[in-house]
Structure 1
Amino acid sequence: MSAVFKFEAWREAEPVVPTAAATGKSLIQLERITKTYDSGENAVQALRGVDLRIERGEFVSIIGPSGSGKSTLMHILGCLDSPSEGRYWLDGEDVASMSARALARVRNQKLGFVFQTFNLLPRATILKNVELPLLYAGIDSDERRTRAFEALKRVGLAERAKHRPSQLSGGQRQRVAIARALVNEPSMILADEPTGNLDQKTGSDIIKLFEEFASSGQTIILVTHDPGIARRTPRRVKIVDGVIVDNDTLDEPGAEE
């Protein structure tokens, strides 16, 4: 399941959010998270009492079959949806206590999103696509251009800065989406089935890129249905029918079980 989302602008000053280091809290802390969708007579419970902690700098996969609740969990982690019950602390702050403007700021500055469908503007150059989060954050044009170009360099696409998405392969477009997610130097990257529209080799290359960023300390949460991809992350959270059934740290990521 992919999400259609938009970057949201914020202009007015917001109180400084306490950092995990200042509060002694995990970067992410979920407590008894439940999500229920009301479809008339039959309510559907997508998440059922989920408890989860993720520390700064972790590379975690959330794995499960279609309909397991993994994408719902990712949307809640990304402040794109809210739980029906339970508490979510992000970087020491209770998400439920945040105003709409504060949530927009969190999505723009603290979170980087990568989705299966890329979500690139077709008529804009890839440089302009990567600039978007900075534009909505009110960054001036010169700094936007510099930071966007540096982000493209990190994903190996600096020489394609003036191209449009239609001139790129699927793997290259996903790299653009990753550069856009990185450009604001977020606390964490949330990737929902980022290899779902790619062939096996290209998908493997994208995961390798995530591995490189994780090795430099970037927090990454990757949602996938593919066990092979999940095995490449140091920690796996398996979800079935809205419940976490496994939460393992692997001794040797990438090893066959």
Structure 2
Amino acid sequence: MAKRERRGRRSAARERRSQESSKAWRNIAIVFVLIGTVGFFYIQSVLGNRTLDDETLCPSQIERFTAVLVDVTDPMNTPQRQDFRNQLDRLLGQIERYEKLIIVKVDPVGESLLVPVITRCNPGSGADESEVDGNPKKLEKLHREGFIKPMEEAFDTLMEASSADRSPVMESVQSVALSEFQKAGLEGVEKRLIVASDLLQNTDRVSFYKGLPDAAEFIGTQNFHRVSTDLSGVEVELWMLQRDDSSQTQPIALPTFWERIIGEQGGQVTRVYRVSG
């Protein structure tokens, strides 16, 4: 009888330990679920639903920065206009969520630096949110009406020729770098500069219409130092608009010349695209 009682007590003790162990594991699992749930909604609140500027739709900290510098001194023909628009539309589709996009027109730099024609950030599209963590329909509408549409309208306006007799491309690149890329707080932000131009610098000091200078010699001149700037870490794309008299005014070495002087300033040309037409 005593043996049976001892066995019974041991069996009851094992059962209690088993129940306590199961309860402990259930509590641990609940804790992990709670941590995961809180973490998910924290990430969504911090990264997915940032407070945006009412006009630009930019958060306080942007993820990436793209500047498009447009030189439309000469009118575009029909193929150029269409290809240029195609490239711009493709660019809009590439802009990431919370990436800043500005459009700047090539112009002489006077007492103040150039001001963007338009500044917008991509707030994200409907695909970036679900019904659980946001309002995808509302975000899609904001993306279309607050980002895509204003950019398209600005692009269409810039496609009209300015009929300017000067094309200060180098000064305009310098202006964008100084007034936009080199602002405090943007040190770790990825930066991209797109130069849409015939790449023919034309000012009183430097005019490629008189002939393309040797890149190495030009880099050593005062004219270069006057327009140079810090492009460290900036990826540069050259969208080269072909002129009707390109065989006389746009030598084959023109893109290579720009690659050399941009590299001298710390930037890197990642793409050269010749706009059709």
Please say whether Structure 1 and Structure 2 have the same fold, judged by a TM-score greater than 0.5: no
Q: Tell me: higher relative CO, structure 1 or 2? Use CA pairs within 8 A at least 6 residues apart.
A: 1
Greater share of residues in helix: 2
**Under a length normalisation based on structure 2, what TM-score does the superposition of the two structures give?**
0.31
